Each structure stands twice: as C-alpha cells, then as structure tokens.
Amino acid sequence: MTYIFHLAEQDRWRRATSRNEIYFPPTFDQDGLTHAAPDMAALVKVANQFYRQQQGPWLVLTMEIAHLQRMGVDLRFEPASPVGHQTEHFAGSATLLFPHIYGGLTAQMVLREDALPQSAGGWFKAIDVFAE
C-alpha cells in the first residue's frame, strides 16, 4: 500500500485550504483523529455506510504514505474505530487496518483531490484517482 484516502466535504476542505488553515473533519473533536481508508474500495464502503444520507459535493483526498512519514505525520494503521456517534462498520471491516491520522490535514499533505460521485439516492461510486 502506497497511498491512503480521506473522504472530505468539499466546502469544508476548500474553506480550510483557501485560508491556509489546517483542515479537521467534523468528527475530529469526538474521535481525536482524521479517518482515512487503505484503498478506494474501503473508502466507498465507509462513505456508503456513514455518509449516504448527506449529499455532497465530496472529495477524495489522496495522500502518499512515504510523504506523510517524511513530514512527521502521526499516522497509525489500526482496526476500524467509530466515526462520530456511529459505531457500526461495514461487513469485512474487522479484517482491515485503517490509516488514522492523529491531527488535521494540510494542503501540503495531499497529493491530489478528486470529486467522488454520489447518486441522487446518496450512493457513492468508486473512482480511479490515477486514471487520466
């Protein structure tokens, strides 16, 4: 695994980065960390589990693990943990280790940002962030 992925509300991410501020997801105060996913399939499962009822626009923030390590980011691979008040996880998540960033995100940490499509019914669909 070379990359990790974070699902961000587009407006919240762009507001923070336009002000040169650190971005924190809405659940950061409760969770004490920024959740990420080890791959796109896991990110979409998490999105459909926790955020289907919340219409976007949404972004996938792609980060390179080696770059984060060089920056001294506190990145840990741990079992799935609750997201805010939601404690249920998708089937199969118990077998995965999820990247948790113990802090917020800066624009310098993010390799790329891509829109994550969401249907009118709220379902998210995987994208290939490296397809050009």
The separation between the first and the last C-alpha atoms of the chain, rounded to the nearest angstrom, is 21
Phi and psi, residue 34, nearest 5°: -105, 120
In a domain, 90, yes or no: yes
Confidence of residue 37 (pLDDT cuts 50, 70, 90): very high
Report whether pLDDT(5) > 90.
Answer: yes
In a domain, 121, yes or no: no
pLDDT value of position 48: 92
Domain count, the chain: 1
Q: 74 to each of 89, 99, 117, how far by Cα in Å?
A: 24, 10, 30
The parent domain of residue 45 ranges over 3-115
In a domain, 52, yes or no: yes
Sequence-distant (6+) residues with CB within 8 A of 21 are none
Phi and psi, residue 129, nearest 5°: -70, -15
Q: pTM of this prediction?
A: 0.90
Report whether pLDDT(132) > 60.
Answer: no
In a domain, 12, yes or no: yes
pLDDT value of position 1: 63
Average predicted confidence (pLDDT) for the chain: 90
pLDDT value of position 107: 98
In a domain, 132, yes or no: no
In a domain, 120, yes or no: no
Q: Where are the alpha helices (DSSP H) in 1-132?
A: 10-18, 28-31, 40-50, 65-70
Task: Report how far residue 36's alpha carbon sits from residue 89's, in angstroms, rounded to the nearest whole number.
Answer: 14
In a domain, 43, yes or no: yes
In a domain, 123, yes or no: no
pLDDT value of position 40: 94
pLDDT value of position 96: 84
pLDDT for 63-102, tens place per residue? 999 999 999 999 999 988 766 666 566 555 667 899 999 9
Q: What is the CATH number of the domain that holds 45?
A: 3.20.170.20
Task: Report how far residue 6's alpha carbon sits from residue 96's, in angstroms, rounded to the nearest whole number.
Answer: 16
